Structure 1
Amino acid sequence: MIFIENEGVTNPFLNLALEEYILRNFDHGNDYLLFYVNEPSIIIGRNQNTLEEINHKYVEEKNIHVVRRISGGGAVYHDFGNLNFSFITDYDVKSLNNFRKFTEPVIKVLNKMGVPAELKGRNDIVANDKKISGNAQFSSVKRMFSHGTLLLDSDLSEVSNALNVKMSKIESKGHKSVRSRVANINEFLSEKLKVEEFRKQILKGLYEDRPNFETYKLTPEEWKGVHQLKDEKYSQWDWNYGKSPKFNIHRTKRFPIGEIDVRIFVEKGHIENLKIYGDFFGKDPVSNIEEKLQGIRYDLASIKEALQEFEMKLYFGDISKEEFVNLIFGADEL
């Protein structure tokens, strides 16, 4: 395992660019660990509709950064009281959506610190049933990362102020509000920690289990590549917000793997445009499905035929093709 020193960068555009740069450019066969802390920001999941996830007026007033990441899952709030970790490894089908594998070392360290942490649900680390960490993944053909938050001393009131959290998500977790279902790790420690000390303790705990740990600092040339990726992608409005599509059919459903939200524009009986949103996790881009359905007739048989070659698990996780087709066509409503 090689620990990448991000040299105190707190710019979320740059930190997300750094994570992707490592994934795509560093040696295959090596495992990397990255820690970073972001200035107040909302980090949007790859497949989400940004304008529907944020409280736009509040975000503008408070000058909160809004950045889209390349992994799936839901929108999260970051600030100086939150530590982010990322394990970057070779792609392995057994590791995809296997959050236990990547969170286990972190949970072990938290337990040693006296935090009653455990993995629960799809991708959350909880303590006494309150969420202290959310996790997400991204995979390319050869590489992948699994990353997560660690809420140490975040301003939890800002989570509900800055985000438009959907009631379906709150209700599915059996809580009445965002604040009631999240907690800071400091609430479970006998002595409260600052983020820098917490970072040291987590890193020390991870080192103890892996004696071959190395620390690496990027070269000036590598940082140049990171800045270029930030400028060309993560700082761009089209990447972070994108254009909301015209639609006349809207179908949404929360599955065990997350919410899938489909916007369809149908004209003269054919699908002219289709956009898929959601907080699901998948390996392959849903744009493949969107492009395949464009131009076909909006009927059950045509949709089924067009999607015949697709394995839904690669795009959304564990749902069947029939469930997805029924969502698009509204067959459950018939």
Structure 2
Amino acid sequence: MKYIINHSNDTAYNIALEEYAFKQLLDEDMIFLLWINKPSIIVGRHQNTIEEINREFVRENGIEVVRRISGGGAVYHDYNNLNYTIISKETEDKAFDFKSFSIPVLKTLEALGVKAEFTGRNDLEIDGKKFCGNAQAYINGRIMHHGCLLFDVDLSVLSKALKVSKDKIESKGVKSVRARVTNIIDELPEKITVEEFRDLLLDYMKKEYPDMTEYVFSEDELVAIQKSKKEKFGNWDWNYGKSPDYNIKRGTKFLSGKVDIYANVVQSRIENLKIYGDFFGIEDVAAVEEVVKGIPYERESVLEALKSIDISRYFAGISREEIAEAIVG
């Protein structure tokens, strides 16, 4: 097992480095990565960026927006947010098992006198208040699990920068984003810095994996990461993309995530379809969008078209019938 402490605060670079470790360091059975970003919003792989952020606030406050390669929802980072990643070789049935990958965080907090627990789909909470959201990507026998830990984040900025959907707030039964979250620092009996917490988390991993050593990138690898930052994670097309033409928009919230449908229907047939949301899946939903093109915009026809693909690979925990419902109703 290897560990990497990335001291860069450049968000696009950090996401590029994480992807490089996931997709290129294939000889490593397990990698543990820690880093801190500057003020940024990280949106999920399948999300419609412009609907997840407060664009005016983000622009005025110089907050960077970067899309990651994993599913899930948008999160806000700043210099007091600690990000951790665990990359490991796993069988496909381990995909989207968030709880087991959260143990290092829960155990580190326990040692500091804080009782935290895994709840819901992919959250960590203290006394019912969220302090960490988790996301995963799965490619060819490798899982990348990452979480963003609210250590001492400016929650007033978080609540203004993220344009959280009304139905998500209502489903929690509370009035605001800020009411649902907490910072780790506020729960600690004795105060420490985010860097000290980072070191404690790394210490836990070193005790669990005594043979773990540091991975140091070569100059060629660093050049490749910079190239990825420039061409992908620092690119507007990747981070925002073109909003689709549509005449029908539908949003459906399931236990395993929200699915937003943008459909352009002409003469009662689906001309184009775009799927957004905070769901998780192993494969790109572009295949789902393609399979329903040209068919009648009716539930039975959509459901029949979806039978030609394994829907579980695109939407973890959401059935074919539920996706048909999300598209047509």
Q: Which residue in 1 is equivalent to 2:182?
A: 183
Q: Does the aligned pair in 2 maintain the 1:137–1:145 contact within 8 Å? A: yes
Task: Describe the SS at the equivalent of 1:83.
Answer: strand
TM-score, normalised on structure 2?
0.97
* RMSD of equivalent CA atoms: 1.2
Shift of 1:292: 1.2
Cα distance in 2 for residues equivalent to 1:15 and 1:25: 15
Q: What is the distance in 2 between the residues matched to 1:125 and 1:15?
A: 23
The answer for the alignment partner of 1:192 in structure 2 is 191
Aligned to 1:104: 103
- List alignment gaps of at least 5 residues for structure 1: none
TM-score by length of 1: 0.96
**Matched residue, 2:76:** 77
8 Å Cα contact 1:123-1:134 kept in structure 2:
yes
Secondary structure in structure 2 of the residue aligned to 1:94: helix
Distance apart, 1:5 and its partner CA: 2.8
User: Residue in 2 aligned with 1:202?
Assistant: 201
Q: Quick one: distance in 1 between partners of 2:61 and 2:28? A: 42
- Structure 1 counterpart of 2:277, which letter? G
CA contact (8 A) 1:91 1:140 kept: no
2:251 is the counterpart of 1:252: yes
Aligned match of 2:5: 5
What's the secondary structure of 2:34's corresponding residue? strand
- Alpha-carbon distance in structure 2 between the residues aligned to 1:266 and 1:23: 39
1:303 positional shift: 1.4
Helix, strand or coil at the partner of 2:258: strand
Instruction: Tell me the residue number matched to 2:49.
Output: 50
The alpha-carbon deviation at position 64 of structure 1 amounts to: 0.3
In the TM superposition, 1:1-334 aligns within 5 A as: 1-6=1-6, 8-28=7-27, 30-330=29-329
Segments of 5+ residues of structure 2 without an aligned counterpart are none
Partner AA of 2:174 in structure 1: H
Q: Is the 8 A contact 2:311 2:319 kept in 1?
A: yes
Give the Cα separation in 2 of the matches to 1:50 and 1:125.
24
Distance apart, 1:29 and its partner CA: 5.1
How far did residue 328 of structure 1 move?
1.2
* CA shift digits 1:113-144 (9 cap, x unpaired): 11211100000010111101000001112322
How many aligned positions are there? 329
- 2:3 partner amino acid: F
Letter in 2 for 1:13: A
Distance 1:50 1:27 in 2: 31
Q: Secondary structure at the match of 2:92?
A: coil
CA distance in 2, matches of 1:150, 1:232: 28
Kept after mapping to 2: 8 A contact 1:4/1:34: yes
* Structure 2 Cα separation of the partners of residues 114 and 173 of structure 1: 27
Would the aligned equivalents of 1:89 and 1:144 in 2 still touch at CA under 8 Å?
yes
Deviation at 1:269, TM superposition (A): 2.1
Contact 1:114-1:189 at 8 Å conserved across structures: yes
The amino acid that maps onto 2:22 is L
CA distance in 1 between partners of 2:189 and 2:301 (Å): 61
Q: In the aligned structure 2, how far is the partner of 1:196 from the partner of 1:49?
A: 33
- The CA distance in 1 between the partners of 2:273 and 2:322, in whole Å, is 17
